[in-house]
């Protein structure tokens, strides 16, 4: 196992205190209790929060400065803003297909033209007052409105194909996203990426998939691995090396002018596109587990692409079995799955019955992304109890749930998860496409669900607790439960990376409280 388990032993008195504080749910001992910490009730930061919570501009400024834990559900390519994709497209000499609203490479037959042409250069687009806003809208959900036959859901997912041609320099993408995290006080990010998955999918595509292949997943895995998957690990690790070297160079890490992103812990979740045919899906899943076993910077895998896609729906059970077999072969594999990113109307009711449960029970997911349709599932209360018992965290993405599914406010199950004791973390999903940041998601939690400062501290702590960082939790040390920060608690940091990052958050929260004491 790559992440430590917490020891039991939350006292009834502490649990009661945390519940009274209204703290966010997170893993604590054998159950699930708040991790906000008694120290936040009546603290200077809490008083300042109460003073600004009804003023959105002041609340935004407060939350931006507030130390944060981790963003655990963040697609790297979707986290980059359209303005930067256009800048990178200009540097790479790409064109913008005005009819298809897509960045494309020039060809001899179809070179880039001027602003009046059908395929103007990205440089010309940036300089043109009409084309530039058109391109920004096409590459994001900026100003997007639902229209007959083309919803916000469709616009959201269409953007990925439109900016793909400009997303070639992973290091540049990392620099933007990681530095934004650092400027907001985030301690850790787990970014969904696709290092080496193209060659892995090609091996799967060349494999003749049959009903027998699906019936004998262990044997099929043997054949796919023998076809060359292990040989792809070393090149993928080199890709990561190159991307991080480029990121550090852009951010000036290790120099006097180092930018805030240099202080952020970065890990990767390898993506599997669930809309492919079975061969590529299985080969990529197996490869990602192999890569995680040999590359410490890769800490898990996730299935991506629209969950309502016909292929994703029809093959869902098969996909869960594939993940289970990959985990059987590589027991240390961490799994975080998009599941329940569905709602009534997007799919028939019958498709809402069991995706989250199967992700937990069959695939062994430790975290669920979105989980919006939980109360449509068979025996939802039993499912919630199961998730609470297993401490399966839910990655809640408020803005993307609103834009993709039209689910927000009272219709969102966030309070249901919290009331059931299921660990909850807030994340961004695709902050560039949605044109948000993590601060925005905290603000939505305050304004739509009435979260207090203790809740936000609890969410920050929960995000690190449920990260896939290796090592024991800070709170696993004897006598250490939030808000305790004794030096005896710090002993675990010598052997645990997770505990070191958690300790950093605790120190940052203490500094923030001292700063707020001097704020009027």
pLDDT, tens digit (0-9, with 9 covering 90-100), for 12-46 = 333 333 333 333 333 333 333 456 555 676 799 99
Q: State whether residue 90 is helix, strand or coil.
A: helix
Task: Summarize the confidence of residues 209-237 as an average pLDDT.
Answer: 98
Q: What's the pLDDT tens digit per position in 159-213?
A: 999 999 999 999 999 999 999 999 999 999 999 999 999 999 999 999 999 999 9
Reported confidence tier of residue 519, pLDDT bands at 50, 70, 90: confident
160 burial via Cβ count (<10 Å: 0-12, 13-18, 19+): middle
Q: What's the pLDDT tens digit per position in 363-374?
A: 999 999 999 999
21, two tokens = 């504080």
Mean pLDDT of the chain: 92
Reported confidence tier of residue 309, pLDDT bands at 50, 70, 90: very high
Q: What is the pLDDT of residue 33?
A: 41
Closest CA to 315 of 291, 290, 351: 351
Q: What is the pLDDT of residue 483?
A: 78
Q: What's the pLDDT tens digit per position in 65-88?
A: 999 999 999 999 999 999 999 999
Q: What's the pLDDT tens digit per position in 381-420?
A: 999 999 999 999 999 999 999 999 999 999 999 999 999 9
Report the share of the chain in percent with pLDDT over 90: 87
Q: What is the pLDDT of residue 35?
A: 65
Radius of gyration of the chain (CA): 23
Number of H helices, E strands in the chain: 25, 12
Residues contacting 444, CB < 8 A, separation 6+ = 398, 399
Task: Summarize the confidence of residues 37-60 as an average pLDDT.
Answer: 89
419 burial via Cβ count (<10 Å: 0-12, 13-18, 19+): exposed
Q: What is the pLDDT of residue 148?
A: 79
Q: What's the pLDDT tens digit per position in 125-144?
A: 999 999 999 999 999 999 99
Closest CA to 416 of 376, 456, 453: 376
Q: What is the pLDDT of residue 39?
A: 65
Place of tokens 């998009």: 338
437 pLDDT exceeds 50? yes
Q: What is the pLDDT of residue 410?
A: 96
N-term to C-term CA, the chain: 47
Q: From the CB of residue 71, how many other CB atoms can be counted at a distance below 10 Å?
A: 30
Reported confidence tier of residue 490, pLDDT bands at 50, 70, 90: confident
DSSP tag of 336: E
Q: How far apart are CA 103 and CA 412, in angstroms?
A: 35
- H/E segment holding residue 27: strand 25-28
233 pLDDT exceeds 50? yes
265, two tokens = 């812990």
In 57-137 the beta strands, taken as DSSP E runs, fall at 68-75, 95-97, 102-104
* Cis before 40? omega within 30: no
């Amino acid at each position: 196992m790559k992440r430590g388990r917490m020891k039991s032993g939350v006292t009834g008195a502490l649990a009661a205190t945390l519940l009274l504080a209204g703290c966010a749910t997170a893993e604590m001992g054998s159950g699930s209790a708040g991790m906000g910490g008694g120290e936040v009730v009546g603290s200077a930061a809490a008083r300042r929060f109460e003073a600004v919570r009804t003023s959105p501009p002041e609340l935004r400024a407060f939350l931006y400065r507030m130390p944060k834990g981790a963003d655990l559900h963040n697609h790297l390519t979707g986290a980059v803003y359209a303005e930067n994709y256009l800048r990178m497209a200009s540097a790479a000499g790409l064109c913008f297909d005005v009819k298809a609203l897509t960045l494309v490479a020039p060809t001899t037959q179809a070179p880039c033209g001027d602003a009046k042409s059908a395929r103007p250069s990205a440089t010309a687009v940036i300089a043109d007052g009409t084309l530039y806003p058109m391109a920004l809208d096409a590459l994001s959900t900026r100003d997007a409105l639902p229209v007959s036959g083309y919803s916000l859901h469709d616009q959201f997912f269409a953007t990925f194909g439109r900016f793909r041609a400009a997303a070639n320099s992973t290091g540049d993408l990392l620099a933007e996203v990681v530095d934004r995290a650092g400027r907001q006080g985030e301690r850790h990010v787990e970014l969904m990426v696709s290092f080496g998955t193209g060659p892995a999918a090609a091996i799967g595509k060349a494999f003749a998939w049959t009903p027998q292949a699906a019936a004998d997943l262990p044997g099929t895995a043997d054949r796919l691995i023998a076809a060359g998957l292990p040989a792809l690990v070393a090149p993928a690790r080199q890709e990561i090396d190159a991307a991080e070297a480029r990121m550090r160079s852009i951010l000036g890490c290790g120099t006097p002018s180092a930018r805030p992103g240099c202080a952020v812990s970065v890990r990767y979740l390898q993506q599997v596109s669930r809309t492919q045919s079975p061969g590529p899906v299985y080969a990529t899943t197996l490869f990602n587990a192999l890569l995680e076993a040999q590359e410490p910077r890769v800490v898990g895998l996730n299935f991506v692409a629209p969950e309502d896609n016909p292929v994703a729906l029809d093959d869902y059970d098969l996909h869960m079995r594939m993940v289970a077999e990959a985990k059987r072969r590589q027991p240390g594999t961490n799994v975080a799955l998009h599941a329940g990113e569905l709602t009534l109307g997007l799919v028939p009711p019958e498709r809402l019955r069991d995706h989250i449960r199967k992700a937990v029970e069959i695939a062994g997911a430790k975290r669920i992304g979105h989980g919006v349709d939980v109360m449509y599932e068979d025996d939802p209360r039993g499912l919630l109890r199961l998730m609470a018992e297993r401490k399966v965290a839910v990655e809640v993405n408020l803005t993307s749930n609103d834009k993709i599914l039209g689910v927000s406010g009272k219709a969102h199950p966030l309070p249901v998860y919290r009331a059931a004791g299921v660990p909850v973390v807030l994340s961004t999903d695709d902050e560039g496409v949605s044109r948000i940041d993590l601060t925005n998601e905290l603000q939505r939690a305050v304004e739509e669900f009435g979260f207090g400062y203790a809740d936000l501290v609890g969410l920050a702590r929960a995000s690190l607790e449920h990260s896939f960082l290796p090592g024991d939790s800070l709170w696993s040390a004897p006598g250490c439960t939030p808000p305790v920060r004794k030096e005896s608690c710090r002993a675990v940091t010598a052997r645990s990376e997770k505990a070191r990052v958690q300790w950093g958050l605790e120190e940052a929260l203490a500094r923030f409280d001292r700063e707020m004491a001097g704020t009027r």
